[in-house]
Structure 1
Amino acid sequence: MRQKRSKNYRKQMSAYTTAFGFRKPYQVLVDGDIVYDATKYKMNLSKSLESVVQSEIKPMITQCCIKSLYDRGDEAAEAVALAKTFERRRCNHLETPLTQAECLSSVVNVKGKNKHRYVVATQNQQVRRQFRSIPATPLIYINRSVIIMEPMSPITEQAKSKFETEKLLGGLNSTRSRH
């Protein structure tokens, strides 16, 4: 990975850790498309994701995303095998499986927040556009066999600066009694 990009990713993950409470190992929620593309490009997805977030990770995949890989048929056999090595995130859509986009949205978006602090790795541009409106959601995708982390969305930047000002002003204007 390029040094400048690496430094930016390190700063970004540090900001997510301090402002939004992300903890190591980071929970990386992947979709079927990124798993399929990683096998197509002959990438070691887990190692690549670890190098992007620059820490240990816990790769997770939903049941609907695995089903979408099965639906691709024999061409995705290698991707299915890779997906089976990841931790399963129960999404409770087994009776009526949703599309990958709907499933990821239902798992990550809890009342407009990324409550479970997932790093989302997806190839779907629509999903990434949707998650940019949710504060504190790091987004990762593959571009020509290179894994890229998107810069913080403006909504995430606002939430981060709001947290920082509250922390700063809360210390100055505290109503606690002084001894």
Structure 2
Amino acid sequence: MRVKKQKRHRRAVRFYTSCFGFRQPFKVLCDGTFVHNLIVNRVAPADKALSNILGGSVKLFTTRCVLEELKRLGSAYSESLQAAHKLMIARCDHEDKKSAEACIAEIIGENNPEHFFVATQDFGLRKKFREVPGVPLIFGLRNALFLEPPSAFQHEFVKTSEEQRLHATELEYKMLKNRTKSTSTNEESGHSSDENKGPREMQPVKKDSARRRMDGKDRPQFKRKKAKAPNPLSCKKKKKDVNPKPSSDKESNAGNNATRSTSRKRKRSRKSKNLTEMDSK
């Protein structure tokens, strides 16, 4: 049951936001009966309960006329009066204090320019505002709060306004009619001037002149191949080797060592020398 109620409230809020331009934070105008219902049923905090219904942030308003009416009701409504003083006050320029119903009706007007949600327990006031386009109504039932679905009048108002947007207004129709008249007169004057001039002699058109008259869009656009710059890597100078041909040096050193080893003479031992001397003796 709670899920169905949330869906119904969400659908109603979407209707007012898309068709009448309601935006967050939503402004709720409360009268004395609604504030008293919140106090009696201990619905607190009120702004949180209303934000749960509307699915967005909320600002609560009341009027000076509502506060004066709660004062006149006596001590039974003293707690409701204290709670109403905590709300923001909507502007109502009434020198002589009016009833809460008349004050709220004057603020709402014919099309609710301030985009107020009206919260009231007065059935007569709710019935009156059902015939005003773009006025969402909130009421309490025990400790639960409800948002009324849009009335049939409001649905019909939205439908007719959408149909009017599709059709041209009287002013637009007159402007269109004048424009068509002016274009038709210009065309007639152009035809008459051509007839007075007579037939023109046909002159051969050169191909070169025809080509010159062609617009830029009509001309065939060919992409010319531009001369490309040389490869930057091929333009680099070759680096000189610090140790040129190290392998060749190694080979030459190896060859020198080999020649040196072959050129070395064999040393004879002293023993062989002494033996030869002894033999000679």
Q: TM-score, normalised by structure 1?
A: 0.86
The whole-number CA distance in structure 2 between the counterparts of 1:138 and 1:64 is: 21
* Structure 1 match to 2:129: 131
Per-residue CA distance 1:113-153 (angstroms, 9 max, x = gap): 11111110011111111101101110011122221111101
Answer with 70-79 or 116-125: which moved more: 70-79
The whole-number CA distance in structure 2 between the counterparts of 1:51 and 1:159 is: 28
Structure number with greater CO (CA < 8 Å, separation at least 6) is: 1
Shift of 1:164: 4.5
Shift of 1:87: 0.7
Matched, 1:58 2:95: no
Q: What amino acid is aligned across from residue 9 of structure 1 in structure 2?
A: H
Give the alignment's Cα RMSD to 1 decimal: 1.8
The whole-number CA distance in structure 2 between the counterparts of 1:165 and 1:4 is: 32
Q: TM-score, normalised by structure 2?
A: 0.56
The whole-number CA distance in structure 1 between the counterparts of 2:52 and 2:164 is: 32
The whole-number CA distance in structure 1 between the counterparts of 2:66 and 2:92 is: 10
Q: What amino acid is aligned across from residue 64 of structure 2 in structure 1?
A: Q
For these two proteins, the number of residue pairs brought into alignment is 167
Shift of 1:92: 1.6
TM alignment of 1:5-154, pairs within 5 A: 5-44=5-44, 45-93=46-94, 95-109=95-109, 112-154=110-152
Task: Tell me, yes or no, if the aligned pair for 1:32 and 1:65 is still in contact at 8 Å.
Answer: yes
Structure with the greater alpha carbon radius of gyration: 2
**Which structure dedicates a bigger proportion of its chain to strand?**
1
SS of the residue 1:96 aligns to: coil
- Stretches of structure 2 lacking an aligned partner (at least 5 in a row): 168-175, 177-281
The whole-number CA distance in structure 1 between the counterparts of 2:13 and 2:161 is: 16
Shift of 1:76: 1.8
* Structure 1 match to 2:266: none
Shift of 1:16: 0.6
Partner residue of 1:159 out of 157, 160, 163: 157
